[in-house]
Amino acid sequence: MGHWQLFLDDWALERATGFDRVVHHPRAHGVVIPADRPWETGGASPGFVGRREDGSFFALYTAMWWDLDRGERIENEGFRGDRAHHLFSGLAWATSPDGLHWEKPELGLLEAPAGVDRARHAPFPSPKGFDRRNNLGVPFAVVADLGQHGNVTDPERRYALRLAHSGGDVGGSHQRQTRGYFSPRIPDFLGDPAWREQLADSGGAFNPRRHTLHFWDEIHREWVAMDQGVVPHWLPSREIGRFASPDLIHWTSSAALYPDPADPHLPHCYDEPMSLTPFCAEGVVFGLLSWFHSDRTHPEGGPVLEPTPEHPHRWPWCRTGTNEMRITLSRDGGRTWDRSSSRVAWIPHATEEHSYDRLVIGACPPVRVGDEDWFYTLVIDGDHLVIRNNPQQSAYYADRLVRHQIALYTQKRNRYVSLRAGHRPEVLITRPFVVNGKELQLNLDASRGWVRAALAPAGPVDTALCPSTAAHVLWSESGGFDQLLPGFGFDDGEPVRGDHPEVAVRFRGDLKALRGLQVRLLFEVADTDLYGFRFA
């Protein structure tokens, strides 16, 4: 079955005069995995969400707790001198029958806070005792479904995994085991004592920056991971880097996405990318792009923050601001990213400072549920790294810690962006495509309107003036399209109406007779959002 041709960029278009490109927001379901346990006072951050064969869900996530006393005792741990980042973490496990209501089973594998003491360092939450009655201890620090999201066809390499340090990444990100492994399934670390035997050594390590792996780039024959940071943060802005390796041993990096002249770059609103989660679908690489509206007018939020005796651990990238999620795509294996649809928010952030989704800062690749994609996303209930002049109150609000939590957003599949026509019918003309299926399918919402489709030859058009390949001359002086293929004109079928993520166009002609030929597709559209098309 052919790939859907979507309209996040102009690649499929020859002419779309009269249409508006519209970015569609997914439905927000709110926080579904809250930070509500003593070992989650710093938050819950998504790592991987998947489904079992019975339709139930499971999630691997990072649970973080704040511990000032322990942080002050450990050298180079928790960013000493920056109280808000005295965070310790463990890798957690959660399950759900429906993806909406989640349970945190007691695993008994790892010691973590048993309660919360808000008097010791009021009003902030300190640990109160430690025990193993928690859902921590997942042994995988990284899990990626390369079969579903990473363009990998080998079933033995469906999942990429990196093992956690000593059953968990307790103590933050400083203790890392970089060796990468492949597996045909996510091992049952709870029920199978021999689960490690399912892992195949990858022969190397994953992305050397954060030790992740995202997809196989068939174009350039190399493994790819997208991540923030190729150049130092004290250069003009953050950027998204592309880390690539043909063998998981020799890695190269390059800057792939950074602000351009169309992005705001005023001191109070200096836009820059924060993170990008890629996933492969429909023959391209989609990017869930967390976009940062940086405020560089803050007293300690300038582009360069050198350490001082008063604040020896000052970060050059500590800037206050907000994050939203945008959508982008790449057609060359992540080397370049089209920004046509990423100039506006796909998932907007809240305007209220204490809202649970003040920051929308990271997302897992979509989980398929029926005709929908479900996106489990990191949200934070406060501005990014709020800096205080007093180093003992740096990077957090005076009366609380911000919380990382996991929210859910859902959207019908492939409905990120549409081309919309109003009440007056408009005609969209595509570039040439090879007919490689027995029917033409549309993804559209024509609840109030309609769409008619037609096919035209892809070669030069015979006109009274001269031979031409210009798509607009398909329109004749008599007031119609007279260069359409017989049996595949606008009048050779009924208009398509209604809301359909996948619906076939019925022609009088037999599409199988055109198989292997190049054609242009024409869509006459009125009061409709057209999301995409394909031959199937």
Contact 519, 437 (CB under 8 A): no
Do residues 184 and 197 touch, judged by C-beta distance below 8 A?
no
Q: Does residue 337 have a pLDDT over 90?
A: yes
C-alpha 533: how far from chain center: 23
Q: What is the mean pLDDT of residues 486-499?
A: 95
Q: How far apart are CA 207 and CA 196, in angstroms?
A: 22
Report whether 387 contacts 321 (CB < 8 A): no
pLDDT score at 30: 98
**Gap between the Cα atoms of 110 and 130, Å rounded:** 10
pTM of the model: 0.91
Asked whether 472 and 15 are in contact (CB, 8 A), the reply is yes
- Closest by Cα among 412, 390, 430 to 533: 430
Q: What is the pLDDT of residues 306-323, one digit of tens each?
A: 555 544 444 555 678 999
Distance CA 493, CA 533 (A): 17
Q: What is the mean pLDDT of the chain?
A: 88
Residue 130: pLDDT band (50, 70, 90) is very high
**Which of these ranges, 30-34, 125-129, 194-198, 459-463, has the smallest mean pLDDT?**
459-463
The continuous run of DSSP H or E covering 204 comes out as strand 200-205
Which residue in this structure is represented by tokens 């509500």? 36
CB 83 within 8 A of CB 164: no
**CB contact at 8 A, 50 and 186:** yes
What does the pLDDT read at residue 295? 83
* Burial (0-12, 13-18, 19+ Cβ within 10 Å), 62: buried
Is 466 a residue whose pLDDT tops 60? no
pLDDT at 268 (0 to 100): 86
Pick the range with the lowest mean pLDDT from 271-275, 314-318, 486-490: 314-318
**Alpha helices (runs of H) in 101-230, residue ranges in sequence order:** 146-149
Distance CA 326, CA 287 (A): 8
Cα 284 from Cα 4, distance rounded (Å): 10
Residue with structure tokens 């490690």? 196
Taking every pair of C-alpha atoms in the chain, what is the biggest distance, in angstroms? 87
Give per-residue pLDDT as tens, 78-114.
444 556 667 899 999 999 999 999 999 999 999 999 9
* Residue where the block lists tokens 């800037």: 319
